[in-house]
Structure 1
Amino acid sequence: SHDSSLEFLRDFSFPVNPNIEVVESLAQVIEFCQKWQKDRHLLPYEIDGVAIKVNDLQQRETLGFTARAPRWAIAFKFPPEERTTLLKDIQISVGRTGRVTPFAVLESVFVGGSNVAMATLHNEDQVRLKDVRPGDTVTVRKAGDVIPEVVGPVLALRPDGLEPWVFPSVCPCPIKGELLRPEGEVNMRCVETDCPSQRDQRIIYFASRGGMDIEGLGERTVYQLSDAALVGDPGDIYSLTVEQLLTLDGFAQKGAEKLVVAIDGSKTRPLPKLLTALGIKHLGPGASEALATAFGNLDDIMNANEDDLATVDGVGGVIAASLISWFAKSENKSFIEKMRTAGVEFGNVQISRLPQNLVGKNIVVTGSLIDFDREGAERAIKDRGGKSPSSVSKKTFAVVVGGEPGASKLTKAEELGIPILDELGFQHVLETGELPQ
């Protein structure tokens, strides 16, 4: 039995969880789950549920597996823990594309294993739907035990005369740009392209791991550079000197030199990374990869017409129109020329030396793999000429399933009769380009 296997490990001084129990009935299973739902925070580590398994190994063999999981085990996930606290204020933040997001400023409360003092409210409609108002006592939880969210107000505790919150009409940045809600969108946007909040977020995004991956150039440093008027757009990053960085709080000679080296090293990033880093609306890593493959360098992409861009597989009309609009703006042309002058490579398209045995094949990856992270698995597919879309369709060649896979992808694959592979099967496909027999 599984229990005797654990005893064997205990006998040889292997660490085994002391709270495991063998029970005889469903009622005892329910009682055990309820106990640990209540006492979960007494443990010296975080848990989000209880695993329930058949103890008899022979019965496990008989029960077997589905495509998703063993039939002899199931996880009972606890509902998110909820706490009440005071909603002190509702404020707004502005992202790199001008999208304005309201967020709750809370009296700090311990929930789901950490103190929570802020939580997103998503958009104007959500604030109205939840009817939360500054001064309310609100219920707070962590969605998926990770992301803080405001569930709603405790109406019985609402003070008399508390007025509904009204979305601001101007941006909180110094130039006070007008906030508008474009037709068909749920988000308010700041229409001023010179908005300092947008500018700072664009630079942060440009330097982030998903963009040019400039180690050491995080939010705090970008805000310092912006406040000191040392950067006004991402192109200014490449003219920074050690002497300028030393004027900022927290920078010593070694740290300043290290950041300048990191900035210089980013000049040779592959074209897909550069395109993603530009922060063009609707343009993500997948479409950036497709454009880089189709055109080969940034100048050809900039000079292409909308029809040529739209016909690239994985791009389409919406992204093409966004590209044309972005490249037409003088401020964007200016910062691209700053990068050119600094020596940033515009045509670094890495050509894979691996066999192109997955050309024409779409492989969807879901769940956690052992030998690959998500980005690595997708890269392995693309380096062999394949594609790794985010959803399952009739065109899907196979679905690779790891730990805790997305249920919707598996269900769709089963409905369409798409082959489902484990990690060994995925390795076989990478090596041969064919499904395992």
Structure 2
Amino acid sequence: MDKKSAEEKIKELSDKLHYYNYKYYQESVSEISDYEFDMMLNELIKLEEQFPDLKTDDSPSQRVGGDITKNFETVEHKIPMLSLGNTYSKVELDDFDGRVKKGLGHEEYEYFCELKFDGVAISLHYENGKLVRGVTRGDGSKGDDITNNARTIRTIPLKVRGEKYPEYFEARGEVFLPRESFNEINKEREENGEALLANPRNAASGTLKMQDSAVVAKRKLDCYLYSYAGEDLPIESHEEGIKQLEKFGFNVSQTYKKCKNINEVFDFINKWEEKRHTLNVDTDGIVIKINSIAQQEELGFTAKSPRWAIAYKYKAESATTILKEISYQVGRTGAVTPVANLEPVLLAGTTVKRASLHNANEIARLDLRVGDTVHVEKGGEIIPKITGVDLSKRDLGSQEVDYIRTCPECGSELVRAEGEAVHYCPNKKGCPPQIKGSIEHYIQRKAADIDSMGERTIHLLYEKGLVRNIADLYDLTYDQVFELEGFKDLSTQNLLKGIEASKNIPFENILFGLGIRFVGKTVAEKLAYHFKNINNLAKANFEELIEVPEIGERIAQSVVEYFKDTDNIELIERLKNAGLQFEVQEVEVEQKGSALEGKSLVVSGVFEHYGRDEIKEVIKQYGGKVVSAISGKVDILVAGENMGPSKKQKADKLGVQIISEEEFRSLIKEN
């Protein structure tokens, strides 16, 4: 067969296979037999092997897998994948509804309800109608590129149906392992004498990170899509976005409903509380969203989640088992957590052997004793916890729990601060789990991002006496690392390169990585941007610290205490000498004028003379501030071509000035 004929045949086969795949997986219609489908697919694969330059990324042959991904590239999300606030209480849902009503100024609104599937969040990127990238949620701002594995999921379109699609958009959803597939895998593993998979959610997560996409293809993952995302999409509501995904050929669960008010939301919740168990996928609640996109923008976001959406979680499943013993774990902050070791029991699809007891107060509250028959629940169906004791089955000779007084790791006497429930080991510079935990905290992605180092390596470095704090990492030599168990030339070089690369990590990340108590990622960013460098922060007193927005007394006191410790000052000096960043790297905007001084602007649509990032930079150069959503505080909306109608309506309603691109150029005298 010549190349032209092969090209025509490949197109014909691809079109047919895409069609049959859609009919089977989206509409449950088998228009041809499995044998006929496989024969067509084999013919396509052979032609692509004969003419490799005719193989495309959206070819049906990509469903089979076969690509090996040794390292999953980290990708920054164009639009952050924020987590949702959640509640188990209908009273709190009423409170949420009250906040929405107040935030929207009592204008009319409606909700959109969807089942909350227990899987792995994914963002699928499409350019010119073709799947170009699949990314996990990760930490919400960055995720892993698992494109090769995503292509093997047969319900994910490699190219969208129809022709009227944006040049670029994202489809977001949940990858899951159907119960049927999960049971088949475990049956096969049992027959092979392999360890069984714990639950469908963990199995889906592990499968998406497998290196061999051919193995992923055999696992039969599925995916429900629930969000149509991008800039200036021609939709005005979440419902319109869902309908568009359906038109494009995406797999959208037909369990959603638009609700006129909170009472209809309660009806939806009640309907699915038992009915959800009939589905072939695990669910743990309901997601409730404001339907109007304009109203979503008006309500906005907190630092961690949208104000226009919330997840309602169903009451956890429970089981009864025996408390065999209580052990104690020491965390990186020195907090000692008692752990209940249980007689194994099946709960919400997983075998539970351990449960957190939180602190001494909780043990006393429950009046727990070793040998008790206890009730176990999964909070949010994820973390096991003991909720009570069956006193009718208690042994008459049982003894009250005598909470430990010394650290189980280093023997130091435990302390308990006034007003706190948790016991702490104060020996943070000599207690092994605290030292290793502080290093694990430092190397994580949100901090120093040393991805070539893991828990096992930290343990080896500690046991060999090479590392006792994070500054010691920067003194490691090639010979010291090479001598560690399991290390060879390449792994040694990769570790040292990862440590060296951390010297370019921004100050705010390193500040978070120091592990100052109560200073999380967001707090570290606020402190870094406010004080600009570590010296200013170290000199700040309590009063200066609490003046920083969102910094309370507890955080301020913790920061003051941290910089009082001379060992911490010495540690920071060593990190400075190693070349770490301890100053905010601010990009200075070249000022070209003051035509927009003191004004807040929103830009929307496509522009002839500017890219979207370029026009935002120009606004800053002329003294303006760029904001993302229309509100009463916005002065000007710069409207390009194809601007969404909701932004214009909102601007008109609030009296925001709307100008064209040419008017903008005239305003800043750039013509």
Indicate if the aligned counterparts of 1:235 and 1:335 stay in contact, CA closer than 8 A: yes
After superposition, residues 194-273 of structure 1 pair within 5 angstroms as: 194-273=430-509
- CA-to-aligned-CA distance 1:241-276 (integer Å, 9 cap, x gap): 333233333333322221221111111111111111
The match for 1:184 is 419
The match for 2:346 is 110
Instruction: Confirm whether residue 296 of structure 1 aligns to residue 532 of structure 2.
Output: yes
Q: Secondary structure at the match of 2:283?
A: coil
- CA-to-aligned-CA distance 1:13-55 (integer Å, 9 cap, x gap): 68989998xxxxxxxx999858656667xx4x4233689xxxx
| Superposed displacement of residue 184, structure 1 | 0.9
After superposition, residues 350-361 of structure 1 pair within 5 angstroms as: 350-351=586-587
Which letter does structure 1 place at the counterpart of 2:511? L
The match for 2:519 is 283
The match for 1:332 is 568
Q: Secondary structure at the match of 1:48?
A: strand
| Superposed displacement of residue 315, structure 1 | 3.0
The match for 1:391 is none
Q: 1-side partners of 2:420 and 2:460: how far apart?
A: 33
Q: 2-side partners of 1:235 and 1:251: how far apart?
A: 21
Q: 1-side partners of 2:533 and 2:269: how far apart?
A: 61
The match for 1:85 is 321
Runs of 4+ in 1 over 4 A off after TM superposition: 6-9, 11-20, 29-40, 74-78, 352-355, 384-387
- CA-to-aligned-CA distance 1:377-423 (integer Å, 9 cap, x gap): xxxxxxx7889xxxxxxxx989xxxxxxxxxxxxxxxxxxxxxxxxx
Q: 2-side partners of 1:240 and 1:8: how far apart?
A: 54
Q: 2-side partners of 1:83 and 1:350: how far apart?
A: 55
Which letter does structure 2 place at the counterpart of 1:128? A
The match for 1:148 is 384
After superposition, residues 71-82 of structure 1 pair within 5 angstroms as: 78-82=314-318
Indicate if the aligned counterparts of 1:286 and 1:314 stay in contact, CA closer than 8 A: no
| Superposed displacement of residue 299, structure 1 | 2.2
Alpha carbons of structure 1 residues 348 and 50: separation in structure 2 relative to 1, 3 Å: closer
Q: 2-side partners of 1:225 and 1:385: how far apart?
A: 47
% identical equivalent positions = 32
After superposition, residues 314-329 of structure 1 pair within 5 angstroms as: 314-329=550-565
Report the more deviating stretch, 90-99 or 181-190. 90-99
Q: 1-side partners of 2:271 and 2:550: how far apart?
A: 50
Indicate if the aligned counterparts of 2:482 and 2:489 stay in contact, CA closer than 8 A: yes
Instruction: Confirm whether residue 10 of structure 1 aligns to residue 27 of structure 2.
Output: yes
Q: 2-side partners of 1:207 and 1:156: how far apart?
A: 49
| Superposed displacement of residue 125, structure 1 | 0.9
Which letter does structure 2 place at the counterpart of 1:154? D
The match for 2:284 is 48
- CA-to-aligned-CA distance 1:215-256 (integer Å, 9 cap, x gap): 132323222221221110111112223332333333333222
Indicate if the aligned counterparts of 1:85 and 1:107 stay in contact, CA closer than 8 A: yes
Indicate if the aligned counterparts of 1:138 and 1:154 stay in contact, CA closer than 8 A: yes
The match for 1:344 is 580
| Superposed displacement of residue 192, structure 1 | 2.1
Alpha carbons of structure 1 residues 179 and 31: separation in structure 2 relative to 1, 3 Å: closer
Report the more deviating stretch, 276-285 or 296-305. 296-305
Structure 2 unmatched ranges of 5 or more:
1-22, 31-248, 256-267, 300-309, 601-624, 635-645, 659-671
The match for 2:400 is 164
Q: 2-side partners of 1:76 and 1:230: how far apart?
A: 48
After superposition, residues 303-318 of structure 1 pair within 5 angstroms as: 303-318=539-554
Alpha carbons of structure 1 residues 315 and 435: separation in structure 2 relative to 1, 3 Å: farther
Indicate if the aligned counterparts of 1:102 and 1:123 stay in contact, CA closer than 8 A: yes
Alpha carbons of structure 1 residues 242 and 86: separation in structure 2 relative to 1, 3 Å: farther
Alpha carbons of structure 1 residues 146 and 338: separation in structure 2 relative to 1, 3 Å: same
- Alignment length (residue pairs): 347
Structure 1 unmatched ranges of 5 or more:
1-5, 21-28, 52-59, 69-73, 362-383, 388-395, 399-423
Which letter does structure 2 place at the counterpart of 1:122? H
| Superposed displacement of residue 335, structure 1 | 1.8
Q: Secondary structure at the match of 1:138?
A: strand
Q: 1-side partners of 2:327 and 2:419: how far apart?
A: 23
Q: 2-side partners of 1:295 and 1:181: how far apart?
A: 32
Report the more deviating stretch, 213-222 or 165-174. 213-222
Indicate if the aligned counterparts of 1:87 and 1:136 stay in contact, CA closer than 8 A: yes
Report the more deviating stretch, 154-163 or 124-133. 154-163
The match for 2:33 is none
Q: If you compute each CA radius of gyration, which structure gives the higher value, 1 or 2?
A: 2
Indicate if the aligned counterparts of 1:292 and 1:349 stay in contact, CA closer than 8 A: no
Q: Secondary structure at the match of 1:139?
A: strand
Indicate if the aligned counterparts of 2:273 and 2:314 stay in contact, CA closer than 8 A: no
Q: 2-side partners of 1:291 and 1:180: how far apart?
A: 29
Which letter does structure 2 place at the counterpart of 1:183? E
| Superposed displacement of residue 179, structure 1 | 1.0
| Superposed displacement of residue 350, structure 1 | 4.2
| Superposed displacement of residue 132, structure 1 | 2.2
Higher relative contact order (CA 8 A, sep 6+): 2
After superposition, residues 131-146 of structure 1 pair within 5 angstroms as: 131-146=367-382
Q: 2-side partners of 1:319 and 1:264: how far apart?
A: 31
Q: Secondary structure at the match of 1:203?
A: helix
